[in-house]
Amino acid sequence: MKTLKDPNTKKQIALKAFNDMMLAKAMADIYEDNRSICKYVHSTSRGHEAIQLATAYHLGPEDWVSPYYRDESLMLGLGFTPEELMLQLLAKADDPFSMGRSYYSHPSNKSSDRVQIIHQSSATGMQAIPTTGVAQGIKYIERFGLKKYTLPPVVVCSMGDNSVTEGEVSEAFQFAALHELPILFLVQDNGWGISVTKEEARTADAYEFVEGFIGLNRMRIDGTNFIESYEKMGEAIAYVRSERKPIVVCAKTVLIGHHTSGVRREFYREESELDLHRAKDPGKILREELLHYTDAATLESIVEQTRGLVEHSFKNAQAAAEPDPSTVSLHVFAPTPITEESGERSPEGVKEKIVMVDAAVHALQEIMYKHPEALLYGQDVGARIGGVFRETVTLGQKFGPERVFNTAIQEAYIIGSTTGMSAVGLKPIVEVQFADYLYPAINQLITEISKSCYLSGGKFPVSTLIRVPTGAYGGGGPYHSGSVESLLCHIKGIKVVYPSNAADFKGLLKAAYYDPNPVVVLEHKGLYWSKVAGTEDAKRVEPSQDYILPLGKALKVLEANPEQIALGRTLTIVTYGMGIYWAKQAAEDFPGRIEIIDLRTLVPLDEELVFQSVKLHSRCIVLSEESITNSFAQALAHRITYNCFTSLDAPVEAIGALDLPAVPINLALEKEMLPNADKLRQRIQALLQE
């Protein structure tokens, strides 16, 4: 740990801090003087410089930090230049963090010579879970010796005081404390949340709030005093580095600048209150301290030099090239290595068929034996029961509680932590117990996971496999029977898989594991054990251990008779999951006249096979279990119509459940709501007669 006991060291570090503070001040002044040029919304660190620089100076390339949108001084202290920051401010092509796609002080960094930084969103407090996931991943790596570190890494999550009122921050605190993770939560408390005062927003500050989290150490700091901040942050970071346990640091700061360039201080703050904050300007406080070690002329020279450097940097950033519009679609996904089907789907001599749930267990077992970086966690997936559907049974016993473990009821943490786990090179496989329970995690899935690859310019795709049991059967009721594929397919930046049989399930799980992007696998509960009438065919011969089925490849599971096609008496049903079995049952009444396409993957979608089939048969039904209005199925029907219009003999129909808010628990009501083979037969009959 660096200390200030030696006067020369103290002077050297204090002068460095003063230099960086003057850089931050000059940057804020220039942005204010050039508001028409600095047109994109931004915040500055004025009033927060001391605690941010004190934090940065104790971190090295082995460490990870998640700044928030006011942390430009932290970035300067980490070694990023004003020009690098300004390239993001002005959304230039050479913005090193996001290629001109994100706001000022929303960094990401993967270079080995600086602190590592995962993608940062603007959503208040949402970085707490992904950053805790980084610490969770580092602990796992250290436990299993997957990598050697020069120093034990420290993870820092920086946030404002109002972030602590977010529920997801509490999930991060709870997990970090329970699992003793090497993370420091830095809460910069300036007493304001835009125009909301601390008195309006909360009953306690962060220091008081975390008292009940047993195992979470805490510290207060005057965040306007650099000397105090430097010494205490050194102690806090040294504690995490040596003890490998978490700590919350509550640093009291002041807000001298605007909340953002668009929400200006004069809108809501009295001048007298601003004067109180200006009196605690960290630059002024440090200047008075430095006058004990140097003269005023030296300090004034630093002010002039930093102003000149910032002006030069601003001119360079202004002159830098704008992004090429043709790059706008780059980095939505990282390229996947799995593009072709491989391995044996039906190994020679194997006759016994397995149910879908066993196919999943076997696939994960094979993955985890081969890949020590793979781990599995979620609600009730551990050794005691192995999932409420037995979908992870035996895995806890085989791989132990550090690789297969239960979590609390924290869907946001389960999903969001995979961002950080992936960033450190692990492959988290997680499960949300029912599709209806996915909603608490949607914030993390949309705000953090889906955008990470795109907004980091491809540096941080989130490589995670998310299992979600879905669908209705047997009176599961309104909170255990939902279908969520439309919601998921609308989220750009994630892939969505929906297998209908054991062989596909195993092959798709393998492909999802090796995909460097976030993949959600929807698993119909009614198909797990083939207990629903008509789903016996979901059982299949188990593919070989090396079998992989690429995402985005649909399959014809039933073909129409060529003679019937020639007579124009056929149609195609495009469906997935349980829809395959309704379609097969209905097709028995129309021998030779029905083609069935199993999509298998909803994102990416195999449009080529779908359009080819529709053009051949000229009639199409898109079948889904979801409520139909504004659904994935309805959107797909439109895509088919748009691309196959001249080949159609009738409008494309989308068939699904009734438009109800939930699946009723009563079996008769459930049946009335859902599609089934009988309802499908009626629509087929009507469509073939048109």
Rounded CA separation 176/112 (Å):
26
Helix 411-423 and helix 128-144, axial crossing angle in degrees, nearest 10: 60
How far from 289 is each of 16, 21, 162, 245, CA to CA, in Å? 13, 14, 31, 33
Q: Which two tokens stand for residue 57?
A: 């100076």
Rounded CA separation 396/21 (Å):
52
Give residues with Cβ within 8 angstroms of 276, minimum separation 6.
254
| φ and ψ of 524, to 5 deg | -70, 125
Q: Look up tokens 């002080």; give the residue.
A: 105
Rounded CA separation 587/637 (Å):
20
Active site residue 480: yes
619 with 687: CB under 8 angstroms? yes
Give residues with Cβ within 8 angstroms of 217, minimum separation 6.
239, 245, 246, 247, 248
Q: Which two tokens stand for residue 182?
A: 């090497």
Classify residue 332 by its DSSP letter: S
How far from 656 is each of 37, 581, 605, CA to CA, in Å? 52, 14, 19
Rounded CA separation 236/308 (Å):
35
DSSP assignment string, 254-272: ---S-SSSSS-GGGT--HH
130 with 417: CB under 8 angstroms? yes
Which residue of the set 258, 259, 331, 480 is catalytic? Answer: 480
User: What residues are labeled active site?
Assistant: 480
